[in-house]
Amino acid sequence: MSDGLARLGALLETCGRIACEERERMKVEIKADDSLVTNADKAVERFLRTELDQLAPGSTIWGEEEGYAPEGTGGLWLVDPIDGTSNYRFGLPLWGVSVGLYRNGKLDLGGIILPDLKETYLGARGGGATLNGQPLPKLPPGPVRPSELVNVETDLLAKYGNSLPGKARISGAAVIGGTFVASGRFRGLIAEGEHLYDVAAHIVINREVGADVRYANGAAFDESALVRPVGISPAWIVFPQDSGFFL
């Protein structure tokens, strides 16, 4: 593991502790889009904004809570301080902290911690991916069987219904869908509408385990077109190679 990735892992461990401590004094607000934000979302992002530049000098940060910044000379950090805020707020363990680094036109590093599940995922472009320090194996290629689980968002399940393979599951957090694909719990995921900061880290990790990351219509997933405040559209997938799935 590279020094930079190890340092990212250490930062994520601290983020996990901050989030768990902040949960003991929970404060919740409702944002303009009716989503929730807690004291933990704000505290974790504030902490990361003081630390990430040291990992990539000259970098900037695009975070969910404090907003967008254009890419700096050292890259752009993509931060979702608490992904799955509603799950976190209501005591479900399906939430986490997600940090990715975009530079030189590609997603380069990714790290996710799921504190309640005691799991930390790290990945570097061309350098593999790990779960709690152990290498993650490559995903087996081939179609999704009817008995296998696929993470699907509520709106897409209503829209496409029986067109989707496998058994649909709604996790309520991009970090859960993404890491559960990488760890083999889910066979794939299909999503739409997220910002790049929601999914950057798990895309890096899933690419390193051999996942097919693309739009569901077959078009290539080009992250360089998404480094701006815009939702990802059309629907996109993280599936095994040679799944044969298209919409």
User: Model confidence at 2, in pLDDT bands (50, 70, 90)?
Assistant: confident
What's the confidence (pLDDT) of residue 139?
Answer: 98
Note the pLDDT of residue 204. Answer: 98
Q: What is the pLDDT of residues 130-181, one digit of tens each?
A: 999 999 999 999 999 999 999 998 889 988 888 999 999 999 999 999 999 9
Q: What is the pLDDT of residue 34?
A: 81
What pLDDT, on the 0 to 100 scale, is given for residue 1? 65
Answer whether residue 212 shows pLDDT above 70.
Answer: yes
Predicted local distance difference test score (pLDDT) of residue 164: 94
Residue 59 pLDDT greater than 80, yes or no: yes
**Over the stretch 60-79, which tens digit does the pLDDT of each residue have?**
999 999 999 999 999 999 99
Which band of pLDDT confidence, cut at 50, 70 and 90, is reported for residue 121? Answer: very high
Q: What is the DSSP string of the chain?
A: --HHHHHHHHHHHHHHHHHHHHHTT--EEE-TTS-EEEHHHHHHHHHHHHHHHHHSTT-EEEETTTB----BTTBEEEEEEEESHHHHHTT-S--EEEEEEEETTEEEEEEEEEGGGTEEEEEETTTEEEETTEEPPPPPPSPPPTTSEEEE-HHHHHHHGGGS-SEEE--S-HHHHHHHHHTTSSSEEEE-S--HHHHHHHHHHHHHTT-EEEETTS-B--GGGGSSS----S-EEEE-TT-----
Q: Global pTM?
A: 0.97
Domains of the chain, start order: 3-135 (3.30.540.10), 149-239 (3.40.190.80)
pLDDT digits (tens, 9 = 90+) for 233-245: 999 999 999 999 9
User: What does pLDDT average to over the chain?
Assistant: 96
